[in-house]
Amino acid sequence: MATTKCPYCWTTHRRADLQMSCGERCAGQATRFRERDLKKGRCPHGNQPQGRRVCPDCGRDLLREYVDSGGRNIAVIGSSDSGKSTWVGVLVHEFQRGEVSARFTGMSLDLLGEASRVRYTRDFAKPLFEDGRPVQQTPSALRSTPEPLMFSLRFQQQRRIGPTRIAPVVTVFYDTAGEDVARAQAMDQLVSYLDAAEGIILLLDPLQMPEVRNLVGATSKTGFTEQLHVVNRLGELLRERSRGAAGTRLRTPLAIALTKVDLLRDMFGAESPLRQPSRHDGVYDEHDGRDVHEEVRGWLDRYYDPAFDRTVANTFRTYRYFGMSALGAAPVSGTRLSPTGVHPYRLEDPMLWLLARFGAIKTKGK
């Protein structure tokens, strides 16, 4: 039975239960109704209906491409200053016109809907690539509902017979405030948000780890978030919707990305996979992914806490570690990026891993 998960209120509906709306000619009589209630393609008032489907719960329009492709919802979570919004903003740019688009021939990314296009330009592209300043922090879910950023990734699939097939994968990103990760008051919003996700990307901020702060000489501040507590909190929230009983591991794939690796370069040897170019060239390279996974796991054991990996392994059935830098260099200040500009490093790896798991791109080296 085909179902659709609303990207605005996160409720799931059968495709047959999605609603349609009357057109402009119905004026004050306008109403909503199910598609199967159409009579000869007309609304209950005998007029041409609007083409878009509507969520029965929140009444928001659902884009046709999202409904038809069975859009994938991806949640991005992490403590404050982990760089969630920055990662999303640079990722879209890289998939549209950066190095990633060059390595995946025939791939294109299109933002879907006016709301996503306006939001991306205003909140991500302009500050990062025009003004040279960091993006603003995401507001708490206690003050506003997270608004999705929707885009369609299209891949060319060659066939032996017939024309090349274009396979769209509609992806929905949500970015939640770091302060919500540790607040019980925001639980209702976060539970719905995470329950809707078919993949979760957890960003780890190394500067929240005491030993790392000392080694890189980071400026001291108050209010650090224990990264192990973020994983514990994430498991608690997912179990609120019975994604797994207390004695079973959660099924949601979890990508754990260590951010700001440009600051950690001296902690990795010359032969480290985190000092080598990515090998994901048109496919997801499983050997490269595994090498990075083991490198980051060992780093966390040495510089953070061996309990972190044990907790993750006992909480999630499927997970993988990554190391990346969204900007390539630390900002000069809270209002200015590095004068060298934005030069991401392995920023795309967590997304490529999820796309491979979704079957959108091929994997080699299994």
- 115 and 95 housed in the same domain: yes
CA 240 – CA 194 distance, rounded (Å): 10
- 178 and 229 housed in the same domain: yes
Domain count, the chain: 2
Chain centre distance of CA 294? 23
DSSP 347-365: TTHHHHHHHHHHTSS-EE-
- 127 and 40 housed in the same domain: no
- 78 and 56 housed in the same domain: no
In CATH, what number is assigned to the domain containing residue 109? 3.40.50.300
How confident is the model over 94-136, as pLDDT tens digits? Answer: 999 888 888 888 788 888 888 889 999 999 999 999 999 988 8
- 327 and 294 housed in the same domain: yes
> Which tokens in the block code for residue 224?
């650090």
How many helices (H) and strands (E) are present in the chain, helices listed first? 10, 15
Of the residues 21, 36, 66, the one at which a domain ends = 66
pLDDT band of residue 270 (cuts 50, 70, 90) is: confident
- 11 and 123 housed in the same domain: no
- 62 and 151 housed in the same domain: no
- 131 and 193 housed in the same domain: yes
- Domain residues for the domain of 10 are 3-66
The residue-averaged pLDDT of 231-235 equals 86
Of the residues 29, 50, 66, the one at which a domain ends = 66
Of the residues 39, 66, 93, the one at which a domain ends = 66
CA 221 – CA 174 distance, rounded (Å): 27
> What are the C-alpha distances in Å from 42 to residues 16, 22, 68, 230?
17, 9, 21, 51
- 130 and 216 housed in the same domain: yes
Name residue, tokens 């029965």. 56
- 55 and 76 housed in the same domain: no
Whether 358 has a pLDDT exceeding 70, the answer reads yes
- 75 and 62 housed in the same domain: no
Which is more confident, 69 or 238? Answer: 238
How confident is the model over 130-155, as pLDDT tens digits? Answer: 999 988 876 555 555 567 888 888 87
